[in-house]
Amino acid sequence: MTPAHTLAFRGIWPAMLTPLTASLDIDHDAFARHALALLDAGCGGVTAFGTTGEGPSFSVAERMAAVEALVARGVPAQRLMVSTSCAAVTDTVALTKHAVGLGVHGCLVLPPFFFKGVSDQGIVDAYRWLIDRVADPRLRLYLYHIPQVAGVGLSHGVIRSLLAQYPDTIAGIKDSGCDQVHSVGLAQAFMPPITVYVGFEPDLPALGRLGSTGAISGLANFAPRLVHRLVTQPDGPDAGRDLARVKALLTVFDGFSLMPALKGVMAEREGHAGWLRVRPPLVALSATEQAELRQRLQAFGLDASRD
């Protein structure tokens, strides 16, 4: 077997927002257009159904159908990452088997997120359940740490245990905890052999200097080039300007619910109000909020050729 980490992704694989129809179902056509546009813009691949993509707000059947629709509309499966995270391990197995069967690059998986305060042993047991029941050497797994949303995080002990048991499966860690000290600690402990991908964009240069080679990023939905430079050229000629620019971009979202506001940017960019829609329990921006977002965006001045 080839250790999974040697085949880990490089470059930017945006955490895609999920466009919805008027009935709040997934708009397969708009979703595929978005994925293809990001690949055209130079992204290494795209990620479906992470937190930014409201993944756990959709059923297993809805997620399977949407991933199939992406592939059917021309997104190369090997440039697709799917977050197959569910509260029930049986659901995670079903989604992961399906994605692996389609030939995706990898799956991004949270620990089960309903029970809180669970032991490291219980989290390891859940990943073991997944890997052993998927039982497919093609499975490439990225561990997903976002405790402020999931309510359950991944300790060094959990990661160490899984790496020791499944070196041919564990390819990397996505750390979206938004805590640079924690991200650097992960990088120092585990990179190499595996890659740590940081979710909070202002931390990308620090992780890039430590050897991180890519990102699964929400801002990359509309600023993929900027995000790419941050991690791949942390000391490049534009590094200072880029870091200031991504920090300024984040202030565009101050005071808004993040996912609805990221979708608001897409609605402005695409001129398509369908991007504003979210699944409950998220709430779409109001018209007033969208107008405020529009003003801030104009002041920021997104530049498609550089951002």
What are the counts of helices (DSSP H) followed by strands (DSSP E) for the chain?
A: 12, 8
Q: CB nearer to a second copy: give 56 or 106.
A: 56
CB of 274 to a second copy, least distance (A): 18
Determine contact, residues 284/276, Cβ cutoff 8 Å: yes
Residues that bind a second copy (CB under 8 A): 24, 56-60, 62, 86-91, 94, 111-116, 118-119, 121-123, 125-126, 128-129, 148-152, 257, 279-283
Whole-angstrom distance, CA of residue 144 vs CA of residue 130: 14
CB of 114 to a second copy, least distance (A): 4
Determine contact, residues 193/171, Cβ cutoff 8 Å: no
CB of 125 to a second copy, least distance (A): 4
Q: CB nearer to a second copy: give 126 or 243.
A: 126
Identify whether 144 is a catalytic site residue: yes
Identify whether 116 is a catalytic site residue: no
Q: CB nearer to a second copy: give 11 or 122.
A: 122
Residue 272: helix, strand or coil by DSSP?
Answer: coil
Whole-angstrom distance, CA of residue 164 vs CA of residue 76: 31
State the amino acid at position 297 in one-letter form.
L
Which residue out of 97, 127, 142, 174 is catalytically annotated?
174
Whole-angstrom distance, CA of residue 39 vs CA of residue 105: 14
Whole-angstrom distance, CA of residue 208 vs CA of residue 30: 32
Q: Is 52 annotated as a binding residue?
A: yes
Whole-angstrom distance, CA of residue 160 vs CA of residue 16: 29
CB of 278 to a second copy, least distance (A): 9
49 sits in the region (left: phi over 0; alpha: psi -120 to 50; else beta) called left
Q: CB nearer to a second copy: give 19 or 224.
A: 19
* Residue among 228, 242, 202 at smallest CA distance from 11: 228
Q: CB nearer to a second copy: give 16 or 204.
A: 16
Which residue out of 97, 127, 142, 144 is catalytically annotated?
144
What separation, in Å, do the N-terminal and C-terminal C-alpha atoms of the chain show?
39
CB of 121 to a second copy, least distance (A): 5
Token readout for 195 is 């890659």
Binding annotation = 52, 216
Give catalytic residues, as residue numbers: 144, 174
Binding annotation for pyruvate = 52, 216
